[in-house]
Amino acid sequence: MTKFLFFVLITVSCYTGFAQIPGGGRGAGGQIPSIGHFYGKIVDGKTNKGIDGVSVQLVKGKFDTATRSMKDTAIAGAITQKGNFSFENLPIMGAYRLKVTAIGYKSLDQKVNFDLKFGKGAAGGGQENSMDNMQQALAGIDKDLGNIKLDADAQTLDQVTVTATKPLIQLGIDKKVYNVEKDISAQGGSGLDVMKNVPSVSVDIDGNVTLRNSTPIIFVDGLPTTLTLDQIPADAIESVEIITNPGAKYDASGGTSGILNIILKKNRKAGYNGNIRGGVDERGKLNLGADLNVKQGKVNVFGSVNFNQRKSITSPSNTTRTSYIDSPFTNLRQFDYNVSKGYFEFGRFGLDYFLDNRNTISASATIVHGVFTPYINSDIYVDTLNPAGTSSYTGRNSTTKADFNNKNGMISFKHTFPHAGEELTANANYSDGSNSNNNFITSLIRQSKDGNVLSVYNQQQVGSGTNKFLTAQTDFTNPINEKSKFEAGGRISIRDVNSLSNLSIVESTGFVIPLPLSSSKYHYKDQVYAAYGSYSNAFKDFGYQLGLRAESSKYNGNSNYSVADGAATKDTLGNFSNKYPISLFPSVFLSQKLGDRSDITLNYTRRIDRPNFFQLFPFTDYSDSSNISRGNPNLKPQFTNSFELAYQLTLPKNNTLITSVYYKHTSDLITRTSIPDINPNSGDSILVNTYINAKSAYVEGFEIISRNSITKWWDVTTNINIFASKINVVDTGVLNKTIDSIGKTTAWFGKINNTFKLTKKLTLQITGDYTSKTILSPGGSAGTSSNTGGRGFGSTVSGSAQGYTKPSGGVDASLKYEFLKNKAASITLSCSDIFRSRVSDVYTMSSGQFTQEVYRKRDPQFFRLQFNYRFGKFDAALFKRKNVKGDMDSIQGSMQGAQP
C-alpha cells in the first residue's frame, strides 16, 4: 500500500506543476529555419500536359540599405523537365513570388507562401488532437503548388516555431509515441530494453511483454513481422507507437490489448550522416553497430548493422509443486541455475528513389542471424506425502545449441496528388525465418543428493522449423475538404509454418531409441484477406470518424511422422482447419474540443484474436517433465468489444495529461488450463498444460499518463494503470467441463521516468516500476509466435485462468555524458534493477490436482557501458511530403507554440 501511495503522491506533485507554468512558450533561438520546400508542375493551360524548358524563378523582397527600399532578390531557379520543378532549404517565414517564363507562353508572376495551418484540421476518431495538428503544420512546410497554369491562387502564411529536439513521450488520444533516442537506458540493448520504459507496457524478467495486462501485436514499420523483440537492437529503433484501441485502418488482430508499432531508423537528410557505437556489459559481452545514410539527388540510401553478445543468468530459480492426482500425493522442490549465452547479428539496408516530386519507390532488406547455447543445472527433490514417506533426488543437466535466421524484403510505392493530403500507397513485405535446436538432458537419479547413483536417464530433442510470411496492402487517402477525409484500403496476409521435432532416449552405450509417440512433424498455414473504409468529419469543435473493416480468414494444418523423418512410423495426428468467410469489425471515434487546450474522446472497436501456431499444435511436448504442454486444434478465435473514454489536457512547455477509462469484453476467450493425462512413454499420471476457449472475460480499467517539465532541468513522465479482470472459465470446446478459476481481481501498475539535465553535457535518467498482485494474463504469450509480444526464442508461456503473479518492481538508472563539437560523441553508463528487487513469483493451482509456485530472478543489478559517435553533414531541410508516415510522426514533437 505504501508503494501505491508513493506513486499517487508523485503523480499529484507532477500535476501541481501545471499551475506554475507560464504560457506562451515558443521555443528557443528565434531564428527562421530554412526547412521549407516548394514543388509543382508547369502545365499547358489547354492540354494540361507538362512543359519542358520552362524557366522558373523564386524571388523574395529584401531591404536594400543603399536605396533604402525593397528589392527583388532571386532565391532559387530551375528549368523544368516534363514540367516538374522543386526548391528546397527555404526559410519558412516571409512572402515569395514565383516567376514563370517560356517561349510561346504568357509570363506568370504568382505569390506563393507556406500555408502552416495549425488549427482544427480534419477531426474525428481521436484525430482532432495536437499530434494531427502538428502533421498539418509539417504538410504546410512541405508544399505542393500543384499544376500551375496561367492563373494563380495566393496563399497566406501562418507562423510556427520549430525547436531542435523531440520529447521522450508524445501523447495523443489515439496513440502515444515513445522516442527511443531520448531513452539513454536502452542504448546497447534490445527491443525488450526499450519496452521497459514505454508507457502502458510491462515486461517481466523472461521478456514477456504486455500492454494493459494483455499480449499485444508487434508491428515493424506498420507491418506484421516474424522478428521477436529480443532480435531487434534498441539502437536500430527510432520510436514506438502505442495504439491501445486501433481503428478500421489497422489489423483487427490483437483484440484484448492493442498494437505496438516499432519504427526503425531511416534517415533522409541531404548529404551523408550516420553513427558508430560500441559497448560492453559487466560480463564482458560486447555490442557493436553503425548506421549510414547518403542522399544525393533523387536517391536516398541507408544501412544499419549491429552485433550483440549476451549472457543472461537466472538465479535463484525455485519451483515448489504439490500434486494430488496420484496416491500417495507428492511434493516436488526444484532448484535451477539457468545460463543463456550467445550472439546475434542484425543488418538492414534500403533505398528510396524519387521518380519525381509526386512518386517515390522504396525498397529495403533485413537479415538477422543468431546462435544461443543455454544450459540449466537442476536439483530436484521429490517426497511422498504419507506416514511412510519416501524421497528421491535427481540431478539434471540440460544443454542446448540453437540458431535462428530471418530474411525480410519490402518494396513500396507512394504517389501524392496535387490536392494536398491526397495520396496512394502500395507495398509488399516478405519474411522467411528458420530455426534449429539440439537439446540434450542428462538425469542422475539418487535416493539422496549424496547417495549412490541408482540410474541414469539421457534424453535428446532435435528440432527445426520455418516461418514464411507474406503481406501486401494498398491505402488511399482523400481529404474531401479541410474538415472531412475518406480513407480506404486492402490487405492480404499469408503465413506458412513447418516444424519438426525428434525426441529420443540415448543409452549409456550411445544407442539411440526413438520415441515416436513424443515426436512430430507439423505444417500450418493461415490466410487473412481484409478491406476497410473510414470517413471523418467535423462540425465546429465536434469531430467523428466512422470505420468498417471486413476480414475473411482460414487456417489448416496437419501433423504426421514417418521413418524418413528419423523415427519409427507414427500415425497421423490428423488434419484440422477452420474457416471464417467474412467477419465485420466496426469502429466509431467521437471527439469534442473543450477549449484550446483540452479535448475528450469516446471510441468503440470490435477486434479478434486468432489462435496462433503453438496454441493449435496438437503435439504433446514431454521434453520438460515439470512443464508438459499441448496445443488444441479445436480452438476458435476470440472476439473483443472495446470501449474507451479519454480526456487530454495540454499546457505550454510540453506539459500534458491524459486520463482514460476503458472496458473490454471478450467472448470465447483463449486461455490456459491443466488437465490430467497419461505419459505414453512411461505410463505415469501427468498434468498437461493446454488451451481452451473459456466462455467470456472482461477487463475494466483507469489509466493516467502525464508528461511534466518540473523545471528547465527536470522532466517527469508518469504512468498509473488500475484495472480489474474476471474470467468465466466454462470450457466451450472439447473438454466439455467447468475449470476452476480465480474470481474478479483488482490490480495496479505504476511507472515513472525522470530525466535530469545536470549540466549542458551531463544527463541522468532514473526510472521505476511496480506491479501489484495480478491475475495471469488471459491466453498468455505463446512465446515463439511471431506477431505477439513474447520474448520469442527461449521464453515460457505465462498465461493461465488458474493463477496469479505476486508483486514485483524495480529501479533503473543511466548517466550520459556528451562531448565534442555539437555533442557528436557520448558515453552512457546504465544499471538495471539497482536494488535487486525484480522477481517473477508465479502461483498456479487447480482444485484437487496440484498447487505450484515458481520464484525466479534474472540479471539483477546489471551494468552496461556504451559509446556513441555521430558524424556527417546534418541538414534539417528534409521534412518531405513524400516521406513515409513514420518519418512524419517521428518529428511531430519538434513543432511547438504554433499560433494561427
pLDDT tens digits along 683-733: 777 778 888 888 888 889 999 999 898 998 999 999 999 998 877 766 545
Lowest mean pLDDT among 12-26, 417-431, 458-472, 707-721: 12-26
User: Per-residue pLDDT averaged across 848-866, rounded?
Assistant: 89
User: Per-residue pLDDT averaged across 71-95, rounded?
Assistant: 81
Give CA–CA dist 62/615, Å, rounded.
70
Most confident range, picked from 165-179, 271-285, 569-583: 271-285
pLDDT of residue 548: 96
Determine how many CB atoms are found less than 10 A away from the CB of residue 348.
22
Q: pLDDT, tens digit, for every residue of 476-516?
A: 999 988 889 999 999 999 999 998 888 899 998 889 998 88
Give CA–CA dist 633/35, Å, rounded.
56
Listing from the earlier edge strand, what are the strands of the sheet with 629-630?
620-621, 629-630, 685-693, 670-678
Q: Which of 894, 895, 886, 37 is nearest to 414 (CA)?
A: 886
User: Per-residue pLDDT averaged across 420-447, rounded?
Assistant: 93
Is residue 268 very low, low, confident or very high in pLDDT (cuts 50, 70, 90)? low
| Nearby residues of 30 by Cβ (< 8 Å), 6 or more positions away | none
Is residue 325 very low, low, confident or very high in pLDDT (cuts 50, 70, 90)? low
pLDDT of residue 571: 44
User: Per-residue pLDDT averaged across 248-263, rounded?
Assistant: 82
What φ, ψ does residue 26 adopt, rounded to 5°? -125, 15
pLDDT at 16 exceeding the cut of 50: no
Q: Which of 36, 24, 34, 47 is nearest to 155 (CA)?
A: 36
pLDDT of residue 31: 56
| Measured torsion, CA atoms of residues 223, 227, 231, 235, in degrees rounded to the nearest 10 | -10
Is residue 14 very low, low, confident or very high in pLDDT (cuts 50, 70, 90)? very low
Q: Which three cell numbers stand for residue 819?
A: 562531448
pLDDT of residue 734: 46
Average per-residue pLDDT for the chain: 79
Q: Which three cell numbers stand for residue 420?
A: 494536398
Lowest mean pLDDT among 26-40, 41-55, 207-221, 582-596: 26-40
Listing from the earlier edge strand, what are the strands of the sheet with 142-148?
84-91, 34-42, 142-148
pLDDT of residue 537: 93
pLDDT at 324 exceeding the cut of 90: no
Q: Which of 812, 790, 801, 794 is nearest to 864 (CA)?
A: 812
pLDDT at 116 exceeding the cut of 80: no
Is residue 135 very low, low, confident or very high in pLDDT (cuts 50, 70, 90)? low
**Greater model confidence, 867 or 165:** 867
Is residue 798 very low, low, confident or very high in pLDDT (cuts 50, 70, 90)? very low
pLDDT at 891 exceeding the cut of 50: no
What φ, ψ does residue 881 adopt, rounded to 5°? -65, -25
pLDDT of residue 349: 93
pLDDT of residue 190: 81
What is the rounded radius of gyration, in angstroms, for the C-alpha atoms of the chain? 30
pLDDT at 659 exceeding the cut of 80: yes
As to burial, measured by CB atoms within 10 angstroms (0-12 exposed, 13-18 middle, 19+ buried), residue 662 is: buried
Lowest mean pLDDT among 118-132, 162-176, 481-495, 741-755: 118-132
pLDDT at 841 exceeding the cut of 80: yes
pLDDT at 475 exceeding the cut of 70: yes
Percent of the chain with pLDDT over 90: 35
Q: Which three cell numbers stand for residue 123?
A: 477531426
**Greater model confidence, 440 or 845:** 440
Listing from the earlier edge strand, what are the strands of the sheet with 96-101?
69-79, 55-64, 96-101, 108-112
pLDDT at 794 exceeding the cut of 70: no
